[in-house]
Structures are given as structure tokens and as C-alpha cells.
């Protein structure tokens, strides 16, 4: 059977984070992950995680000012110090809650200076995270949902990882984003599997429940099983209505 992680940025987003963790446990998830938990006291998150015995797999660095169109800071020239301060804040929260992975959001920008900035921030961030036994993740995000985002494909992420050269830097591979870029998800998984630290999924093209849409997740998950991948897969989709009413996909897709 496949294990699943509930991404609480989308699932049970109407509940306070500790209650969303409890709801994920009741629904049968084996892990949880979140986006930006910083307004919630980590003590309350820890209490819910201990109560449910669910691990928190990951959280994101700050997106910056969403109202101004920002979606990450770490690749923005001139914002390196701010980006590192946000990585430090993420490290502190991750350490307090037992979270092992931090998604470092690149941001919207383009050009050689942007790549150099991102690489330098990641090098410094990985050094800081390694002292706490944490892994930093970078995620290709499709340019339909987030036009102008710097990091868009697994190949580009692999190139960035090679430049950084840190053992605690891995790729977050969202099948939805990869498919929306017009790429073959299974082929990309095969090519990059050794670099991948976490896998997410959602229906294509609307980011709805995964048993609907153009991407056959039964085939994707079966292929991952044949490759020996057994870490929880992150359900990061937008429910159509109440989250509980969108979960009928879990049993069929989880059947080997």
C-alpha cells in the first residue's frame, strides 16, 4: 500500500493547523506537510503531531509579499540577506516541530544574476541547515500557475543542485507541476529519482483530486513502487468542497 502525506496548505485549509493535523490522522494519512506555519505556535503543532503520531515532512520558506506578487525570495538579486534570514526562521520552526525538510522558494525573476543569487543562498542555507540535520528542497513550479517563477523544470533544478554541491539539498518533485510543463512525468521521475527528496501530486490540469484528469496516478504510483520508492507521497490538491468529501481516491490509488 502507498503511504500518503496530507498537504495542509490545501487540505483542511479552513481549520487551524493543529486541528488540520488531527483531521489528516482521522482520514488515514500517514504524514503531513504544510506551507507557511509561522503564525501558529510550534508548541501547538508539536502537541498535535505527538497526539496523532504523524511526522511533519516539510514546510516552506516565506513567499515574501504575496499581495505584491512575490512568490519566494531566494533567487532575487539584492534580497540574499533577507532570504537567508527566512531560511533561519524556517530552520528554527522545523527544529521545534521535528520537521526534516524545508522547501526554499526561489521567487519570480530571470537572468544570470538570478541563478547566481539562488546558488549562493542555497550554499549558505545548506550549511546552516546541515548543522541541524535538515534537508533543503527546491521545487520546479510550472509557469502557467506562477508566471515568471525562476525554477520551472527538473533538469534546471538538477543543474542548480550540481552548482550548489551540498549533500543536504534535494529536489521536491510535484507531478502536477511537471505535467503542466508538458513533460513526461514517469520519464522525469526515472531520470531524477536519485535527487528527489519528496514527491507531490494533484490532478492535471486543474490541480483537483488526483483520480480525475489527464495524468494516470495509478500508473505513476505503481511505477514508483517498482523503483523501490516507498516514502509518503504528498497530496497537494485543491478539494472541490469539503476535504473529507474528496478522499475517495485514497484506497484505489493505494492498492498495489
The pLDDT tens digits of the residues spanning 165-223 come to 999 999 999 999 999 999 999 999 999 999 999 999 999 999 999 999 999 999 999 99
Interval 213-256: pLDDT, tens? 999 999 999 999 999 999 999 999 999 999 999 999 998 876 44
Instruction: Output the furthest CA–CA distance in the chain (Å, rounded).
Output: 49
Q: Cell 506551507 appears where?
A: 35
Interval 142-165: pLDDT, tens? 999 999 999 999 999 999 999 999
Q: Give the pLDDT score at 256.
A: 42
Q: Quick one: which of 59, 18, 54, 17 has its CA closest to 35?
A: 59
Count structural domains, the chain.
1
Cis ω for the linkage preceding 140 (within 30 of 0): no
Q: Cell 516507498 appears where?
A: 230
Interval 18-66: pLDDT, tens? 999 999 999 999 999 999 999 999 999 999 999 999 999 999 999 999 9
Structural domain including 222 reads 4-253
CA distances from 200 to 166, 183, 231, 246 (A): 23, 15, 11, 17
What CATH number corresponds to the domain at position 244?
3.20.20.150
Q: Residues with catalytic annotation?
A: 139, 236
**Integer Cα distance of 229 and 223 in angstroms:** 9
Q: Give the pLDDT score at 254.
A: 62
Residue 112 reports pLDDT greater than 90 = no
> How buried is residue 220: exposed, middle or buried, by Cβ count under 10 Å (0-12/13-18/19+)?
buried
Alpha helices in the chain (DSSP H): 17-27, 42-52, 80-97, 112-130, 154-164, 175-180, 185-192, 217-226, 250-253
Amino acid at each position: 500500500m502507498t503511504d500518503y502525506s496530507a498537504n495542509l496548505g490545501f487540505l483542511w485549509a479552513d481549520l487551524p493547523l493543529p486541528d488540520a493535523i488531527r483531521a489528516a490522522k482521522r482520514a488515514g494519512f500517514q504524514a503531513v506537510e504544510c506551507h507557511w506555519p509561522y503564525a501558529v505556535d510550534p508548541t501547538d503543532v508539536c502537541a498535535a503531531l505527538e497526539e496523532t503520531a504523524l511526522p511533519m515532512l516539510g514546510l516552506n520558506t516565506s513567499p515574501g509579499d504575496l499581495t505584491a506578487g512575490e512568490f519566494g525570495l531566494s533567487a532575487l538579486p539584492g534580497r540574499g540577506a533577507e532570504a537567508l534570514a527566512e531560511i533561519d526562521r524556517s530552520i528554527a520552526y522545523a527544529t521545534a516541530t521535528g520537521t526534516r525538510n524545508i522547501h526554499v522558494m526561489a521567487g519570480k525573476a530571470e537572468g544570470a544574476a538570478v541563478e547566481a543569487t539562488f546558488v549562493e543562498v542555497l550554499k549558505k542555507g545548506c550549511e546552516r541547515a546541515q548543522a541541524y540535520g535538515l534537508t533543503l528542497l527546491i521545487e520546479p513550479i510550472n509557469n502557467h500557475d506562477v508566471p515568471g517563477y525562476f525554477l520551472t523544470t527538473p533538469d534546471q533544478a538538477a543543474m542548480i543542485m550540481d552548482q550548489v554541491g551540498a549533500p543536504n539539498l534535494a529536489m521536491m518533485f510535484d507531478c502536477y507541476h511537471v505535467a503542466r510543463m508538458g513533460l513526461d512525468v514517469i520519464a522525469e521521475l526515472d531520470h531524477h529519482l536519485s535527487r528527489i527528496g519528496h514527491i507531490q501530486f494533484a490532478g492535471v490540469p486543474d490541480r483537483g483530486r488526483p483520480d480525475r484528469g489527464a495524468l494516470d496516478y495509478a500508473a505513476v504510483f505503481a511505477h514508483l513502487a517498482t523503483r523501490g520508492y516507498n516514502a509518503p507521497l504528498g497530496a497537494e490538491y485543491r478539494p472541490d468542497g469539503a476535504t473529507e468529501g474528496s478522499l475517495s481516491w485514497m484506497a484505489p490509488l493505494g492498492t498495489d
